[in-house]
Structure 1
Amino acid sequence: MLMTLFALTPVILVSACGYLIARTGVITGDQWRGVEQLAYYVLFPAVLFRTISQADFSSVPTFNMGGALLATIVVMAAFLLLFRPLTERIWGIASYRFTSIFQGTLRWNAMIALAIADNVAGDLGLAMLAVAMVFMIPILNILCILVLSRYASGTTPSGAKILKDLYSNPFIVSIAAGVVFNLTGLTLPQVFDNTLAIFASAAVPIGIICVGAGLDLSSLRRPGPALTMGTFLRPLLMPLVAFGFAWIFNVTGPALSVIIVACAVPSASSSYLLARQMGGDAKLMAEIITLQTLTASVTIPLALLLYT
């Protein structure tokens, strides 16, 4: 539990700084939009490209891990989509709010996972987490963009609009470029790698600050069905499903621990940025991320205890 707390405490503190910056008016509403777009179009794509382009997949059970993770994502996404009409009928959760439940359940904060995986399995854990990033991040971004494209507007988008949302999304573009570069076997020149490292180092803190800025603490004091589902479906249900598929794909030892970590950490701060850019419920998304982060010091050790 202590290693999880050490990994999460800086995230909580930086998010709190974002909340204070927004409430004191140091950065105003229009200025926040510029900060968010910088993180969305430049900083996070730099993280994704640099990590994936340099990942070494030869020393880990790449395809077994990938199969278990992809199966987990598909099953969880199908469950959420089948469950969506029921949430609207029983609890009145509008479609655009459902997009935040979807992102909050499926997406993951790879930076927190990196810190925990390093403590759990050292350098081998980091290599395995790179595998998780390659298999999880592209499919999750595609699914979330499709869901936001369909449900944030309340109307069924055309095939052309869906394709445009995908090929124009900076996350998808950077992931695809990273995979292609990795397959070539080339190495980034040191000067370019150092440049990307500078961008990457700014991505996480700025993303977390934006999450804190969008937070409404009063909603955390009176969580409704949308916030409750968006917060707890991920840490309680997703590790269980992942454990089942890890058993099917014969993933054990440190690789199993990394899978559980990847499926138990809070949702990504970039989920908030995607919700802002595509018309989802960004306020609900910020609340889900914050509450998941606050409870993760209990839910992550619990998941590791139960499933590894």
Structure 2
Amino acid sequence: MLMTLTALLPIILVIAAGYAVARTGLITGEQWRGVERLAYFVLFPAVLFRTIAAVDFSKLPTFGMGAALLATLLTMAGLLLLARLPMKAIWNVDGPRFTSIFQGTLRWNAMIALAIADNVVGEQGLGMLAIAMVFMIPLLNVMSILALSHFASGTAPSAGRILKDLFTNPLILSIGVGIIVNLSGLTLPGAIDSTLEIFGRASLPIGIICVGASLDLHSLRRPGPGLSLGTFIRPLLVPLVGYLYTLAFDVTGAAQTIVIIACSVPAASNSYILARQMGGDAKLMAEIITLQTLIASATIPAALLIFG
């Protein structure tokens, strides 16, 4: 427990630094959008591409990890859909609010996960987390869009639009190109590899600073059923389900730890953007992201201690 907290403490402090920088006005709102775009379109894809291009997938439990994570997502999605009508009857959770609970439970902040994996597991953890992203990101994007189009008031995008969004996603593109280079057996030239390494070193701190800057403590209202469900289902239940599937698919050691990390980090900040664009409860989504991030310093170490 102490080792996990020690590994997480620098991440927590960097998140706090990002929040402090944003509140002092040193970087303004539009400037933050530029920093976020730099991390999302350049730095983050660079570290993914370099990691995947060099990792030896034959030495990693690729399909076991993928199966455990996919089974976890599908199981949780099924449980949420079964609970939708009771949520509506008991707690008056309407369609838009349900979509925020849905996203808050299933989506994950890959930037925080990368930082934790690097601190807790090391370089091997980055390769394993890249495996998690290969299996999770496309499915989560499709599931979130389908949920919002069905339960919220937004207009459902066409199948072509969904495919376009997936195949133009910089994270998915970097993963795909990295896999191609990996399977080809090519080695990155020294200068390119060193350049990508510099980008990679910059990606995690900048990404985590952006997470802190996006926190809005003033958005938290009196906790109600929607906020409570959206905040606590993920850290309390998803790591348990993920752990059970690691046992089912014989995923152990560092790979099991990576699965637990992917299942316990807070929801992705871009969930708010999707909720706003497709008619979900964007305010509730922002509150869920903020509260999950605040309690992560307790819930992630607990999940790793119990299940990792």
Q: TM-score of the superposition, structure 2-length normalised?
A: 0.79
- Paired with 1:153 and 1:168, the residues of 2 have a C-alpha distance of 25
Q: How does 1:70-219 map to 2 (within 5 A)?
A: 70-84=70-84, 87=87, 91=91, 98-110=98-110, 112-113=112-113, 117=117, 127-144=127-144, 147=147, 154-219=154-219
- Check whether the contact 1:96–1:153 (CA below 8 A) recurs between aligned residues: yes
Following TM superposition, by how much is the alpha carbon of 1:192 offset from its aligned partner in structure 2, in angstroms? Answer: 1.8
Identity across matched positions, percent: 68
Distance 1:182 1:89, change over 3 A: farther
- Map of 1:63 onto structure 2: 63
Q: Secondary structure at the match of 1:292?
A: helix
| 3-state SS of 2:260 partner | helix
SS of corresponding position for 1:226: helix
- Find the residue that maps to 2:59 and give its secondary structure: coil
8 Å CA contact 2:60–2:128 kept in 1: the answer is yes
Could you tell which deviates more after superposition, 248-257 or 174-183?
Answer: 248-257
Deviations 1:95-123 (A, max 9, x none): 55555433432233455545655676666
Q: Deviations over 1:109-154 (max 9, x none)?
A: 4555456556766666555444434333443344445556766761
Question: 1:240 Cα deviation (Å)?
Answer: 1.5
| Kept after mapping to 2: 8 A contact 1:67/1:249 | yes
The one-letter amino acid paired with 2:232 is: F
Partner of 1:3: 3
Q: What is the CA–CA distance in structure 1 between the aligned matches of 2:128 and 2:232, rounded to whole Å? A: 25
- Contact in 2 for aligned 1:214/1:282 (Cα 8 Å): no
Query: Do the aligned partners of 1:149 and 1:162 also contact (CA within 8 Å) in 2?
Result: no
What residue is the counterpart of 1:36 in the other structure? 36
Structure 1: gaps spanning 5 or more residues: none
Residue type at the aligned position of 1:192: I
Question: Residue type matched to 2:238 in 1?
Answer: M
Distance verdict in 2 for CA 1:53–1:94, change over 3 Å: farther
SS of alignment partner, residue 177 of structure 1: helix
87-96 vs 12-21, which moves further: 87-96
Q: 1:48 to 1:150 in 2, by over 3 A?
A: farther
Matched, 1:292 2:295: no
Deviation, 1:197, is: 2.7
Report the alpha carbon displacement of residue 238 of structure 1 after superposing the two structures with TM.
Answer: 0.9
More moved, 261-270 vs 233-242: 261-270
- Report if aligned partners of 1:214, 1:283 keep a CA contact under 8 Å in 2: no
**Aligned Cα root-mean-square deviation (Å):** 3.5
Distance of aligned partners of 1:169 and 1:284 in 2 relative to their CA distance in 1, 3 Å threshold: farther
Distance in 2 of aligned mates of 1:11 and 1:200: 16
Deviations 1:19-65 (A, max 9, x none): 33333333333333333333332232223322222222222332222
- Going from structure 1 to structure 2, the CA distance change for 1:92 and 1:52 (only over 3 Å counts) comes to farther
Counterparts of 2:67 and 2:109, CA distance in 1: 20
CA contact (8 A) 1:53 1:181 kept: yes
Distance (Å, rounded) in 2 between the aligned partners of 1:85 and 1:47: 42
Q: How many residues align?
A: 308
Q: Which sits farther off after the overlay, 86-95 or 5-14? A: 86-95
Larger deviation: 206-215 or 77-86?
Answer: 77-86
Q: Is the 8 A contact 2:96 2:151 kept in 1?
A: yes
**Structure 1's 186 and 289: CA in aligned 2 closer, same or farther, altered over 3 A?**
farther
Residue 121 to residue 300, structure 1, CA distance change in 2 (3 Å):
same
Q: Runs of 5+ in structure 2 lacking a partner?
A: none
